[in-house]
Structure 1
């Protein structure tokens, strides 16, 4: 038997029993292979980052022009809206000629009506805060409010009649959304709403600072229609409260709008 020939053949093929298989320089555990896999993974991470940026930009554009989440920070709209609810504000509701109606729950910028012009803030901080608020993951702006429309421009709004109800244009208003046990208002008032503005109130009247509290201030508590951001149509969070943002209501006792 030619032992040398046998060893030569074995060396060119598989190793014999007890012999260690030599490692290839291009095997799965080699430095070259690891480097190659790293280079292949790099575009994947870049793609994921680019996708994340595109999704964020899309959400910001969507919230700025179509539907914006809004975090409810106070008890002023209970029981319709609770602290921690995230409502979805329909920004298209009044964009094509439609106007707010009595009973609508609206989100608006209260600058000039509910609050004074805020002091200038750091531009970067303002951008971050605005983005977080637009995505519904941060506190809303200190100038943004959510209330219910009770009076429209030209309406004569009075509190209260002999039955303790608010009257609009001489007709009592049916308000099924009021917080249980709350009076329509403990503060008497009579106001003719200027054209182009709204008289707004919270559903939890005893816990709400609304148009009533700003009567003697510049703007008189009237919200200009152009300051309305949108209509709060749906509750998006928590899941247990998914659905429409409470009853619209706000009609007169006989079912009309007065």
Structure 2
């Protein structure tokens, strides 16, 4: 049963790794991987001196860190609120509604978000117009674009994250709440001194595991929503590699950028799993 998945991984993950050699070549498509001249680390030297690379790295870190922070805070908050609902049908209905966007692709959601945020016909701008606010081009404004990416990503994924924290809530012993109630603790005090400490191991685990995603700001989302006017604040490493490699045909340079990102991501993932083991006693193997 594992053979199809193993074949898929070998075909699409391991065999393409032979293309890493392009990062150290002046790649010429007509000469192929083994006929192109070897130039050592020249592509990496060019990368460090490339005028836009610092901006791209900053955008990636800025958007990714905000997504990690918001993606941790919002699901925890929603899980705590859902836990306070006493009617089971209401809890299940709300949980299903917030969980649905997780299954929709960014191609579909991108079209919806573009329509909703349109400066002329978008629902948001029409609502703001009721208060005399001039239309805002959210997806074409360098100030608004990174925050829109964070908000829409959280909206899509917080329902899935909520499930993790709801599962953590079920592991907390009811006797702790009974003891706190006997001691006169209110619902807020119970949340503060019983619920949150009980959830802390999974919170620490999720936070440490997310360290490995610092350089993954969301290619699918940004690629479907960004445009040249917002390259200054929305261009991330993955979209930069796509433009350089696919659109501009700078295959060797794009490979060098992608390889550097992969090495850094590997170090971050290894660090995150080490911290997860030390802080939350989580082990993969």
The interval holding the TM-score normalised by the smaller chain is under 0.3
Q: Which has the higher strand share?
A: 1
Name the TM-score, length of structure 2 as normaliser.
0.20
Bigger radius of gyration, 1 or 2? 1
Q: Which has the higher helix share?
A: 2
Which structure has more relative contact order (CA 8 Å, sep 6+)? It is: 2
Name the TM-score, length of structure 1 as normaliser.
0.22
